[in-house]
Structure 1
């Protein structure tokens, strides 16, 4: 298993677009990390530009 961070964009309370990232997610590949994020309680439907990056 590998460690990934999932990056995404969303809007803050002022309606401004902000970039965010998760804590480490353990997954076998980038797609699994994104799927785990999408199934989590922190993922909201209004988030967009979601991608993951492997970290050491």
Structure 2
């Protein structure tokens, strides 16, 4: 009989996943109107990099 692979994949692993691209690591999700989303992201990136 073959051994089952169920339960051997997935799950939480330390250091798994995409790394944050922000200097200030803590982030939240917000909702903004589509028309200003690009401008808000541009401003946020500048603030995060210390440009402003």
Q: Which has the higher strand share?
A: 1
Q: TM-score range with shorter-chain normalisation?
A: under 0.3
Whose helix proportion is higher, 1 or 2? 2
Which protein, 1 or 2, shows the higher relative CO under an 8 Å CA cutoff with sep ≥ 6? 1
